[in-house]
Amino acid sequence: MAALGDADSVAKEVALELHYGARQAEGQVSLARDLARRLPSTFEAMRRGALDPYRASKVADQTSVLTDEQAREVDAQVAGKVTTRDATSVRRLVNRTVARVDPDGHARRCEERKRSRKVQLCHEDEGMATLYAYLPAEIATTIYTRVDRVARRLRSNGEERTLDELRADVFSDLCLGIARPVEPPRAEVFVYLDFLTWTGLRNEPAELAGHGPIPAGLAREIAQNATIRRVITDPMTGTPIDVGRHRYRPSAATKELVQVRDRECRIPGCHRPVQACDLDHVKPWAQGGGTDHGNLCGLCRRDHRLKDEPGWHHRMTETGVLEITTPAGRTYRSQPEPLTTAA
């Protein structure tokens, strides 16, 4: 690439040859440069045809804040994993790995971003406007969780408004100090951190549910908040502690365990939060399936219904892997990734 001239010149050549806009061409050249210089394993996966440019760009984007040496370390750690994930999962995987490889830099970048917090108002057409808030992730997540829970409770009371309408109205009422007709439930937000990090013996990045990695120091701080539920994971396996129950409807403890384990719909490529999913008996309860974490998993309503269609089969292995067999006879496997690395 160096023989062809500087990046601007190469980007212009690419734009002319491929009929790209300037911005698209610059992005392609930047990706090619990163693959050649910083991401050899990702480059090799593309060369084999195992990884498309879009998913490769997620690796490049998330490692752009790192030094060349750090980027190569992340690239080596995610090699072999990115080829079996969709783009969103690739971004999350690389983001977590970046936080582990460069924890000090991650904490510094989080603090710098926090100084950019703001609220903006954008006027739209037909009497509407967008109110935009750029906030620390733990605060924004807690606000949204509270709004969503109140809205869902209102809908269960026979409201005819859509869930989106209810969320908007609840948000408006809370901001304006207007009392709600129901007692607002506690807005619980989960933060996952391993035992050694929780006790301060190491500083492995934690995971804020629905967001991604956060610095260990921030996790320990916000875990003291009454609206934040800390989930302590086994430092050897990265998974929550086991709980089991034997009845059709899961107990609150079992439901909570499955939710903190799965975090989102278990079907590969579906990222609907598990709090908005059904808890499904993988082996039907009527056929002897237990109501415990080993036989329950989160499925969004669409995938839950699809499971009962002809030709679809689900099976949970003893190691917690969900096997999904399609009508075409293909089998896909799903297992929530450990949120912490082994000590």
Give, for all 343 residues of the chain, the pLDDT tens digit: 444 457 778 888 888 888 888 888 888 899 999 999 999 999 999 999 999 999 999 999 999 999 999 999 999 999 989 999 999 999 999 999 999 999 999 999 999 999 999 999 999 998 999 999 999 998 998 899 889 888 888 887 777 899 999 999 999 999 998 866 555 555 567 788 877 787 777 788 888 887 888 888 888 887 766 567 777 776 666 665 433 334 457 777 788 888 888 888 999 988 888 888 888 999 887 677 878 888 899 999 899 988 888 889 999 888 788 999 999 999 999 988 776 665 5
Residue 242 lies in a domain: no
Same domain, 25 and 88: yes
Contact (CB, 8 A) for 292 and 251: no
Rounded to whole angstroms, the Cα distance separating 286 from 221 reads: 45
For β-strands 189-194 and 228-233, DSSP reports them as parallel
With both helix axes pointing from N to C terminus, report the angle between 103-114 and 87-101 in degrees, rounded to the nearest 10: 110
| Predicted local confidence at residue 106, as pLDDT | 94
What's the burial of 35, exposed, middle or buried (CB within 10 Å: 0-12/13-18/19+)?
A: buried
What's the burial of 293, exposed, middle or buried (CB within 10 Å: 0-12/13-18/19+)?
A: buried
- At residue 263's C-alpha, the angle toward residues 113 and 111, to 5°, is 10
Residue where a domain terminates, one of 113, 128, 144: 113
Same domain, 15 and 94: yes
Same domain, 33 and 94: yes
Chain centroid, CA 253 distance in Å:
23
| Predicted local confidence at residue 95, as pLDDT | 94
Residue where a domain terminates, one of 134, 160, 176: 176
Domain count of the fold of the chain: 3
Residue 229 lies in a domain: no
Same domain, 122 and 108: no
Same domain, 35 and 80: yes
Mention every residue, 6+ apart, whose C-beta is less than 8 A from residue 138: 189, 191, 208, 211, 214, 218, 222, 225, 228
Rounded to whole angstroms, the Cα distance separating 30 from 36 reads: 10
pTM of the prediction? 0.68
| Predicted local confidence at residue 339, as pLDDT | 62
Residue 218 lies in a domain: no
Residue where a domain terminates, one of 94, 113, 132: 113
CB atoms within 10 A of CB 270: 17
Same domain, 90 and 131: no
* Residue range(s) defining the domain that contains residue 293: 260-334
Can you list the alpha helix ranges (DSSP code H) found in the chain?
A: 7-18, 22-37, 40-47, 53-62, 68-78, 87-101, 103-114, 137-156, 163-176, 195-198, 216-222, 252-262, 301-307
Same domain, 10 and 84: yes
Mention every residue, 6+ apart, whose C-beta is less than 8 A from residue 111: none
Residue 300 lies in a domain: yes
DSSP-assigned letters across all residues of 81-119? TGGGS-HHHHHHHHHHHHHHHSHHHHHHHHHHHHTT-EE
- At residue 64's C-alpha, the angle toward residues 61 and 70, to 5°, is 125
CB atoms within 10 A of CB 249: 10
Same domain, 107 and 7: yes
Closest CA to 76 of 91, 107, 97, 103: 97
Question: Residue 327 gets which letter from DSSP?
Answer: T
Closest CA to 322 of 298, 291, 306, 290: 298
Contact (CB, 8 A) for 264 and 271: yes
Cα atoms in the Cβ-side hemisphere of radius 13 Å centred on 154: 23
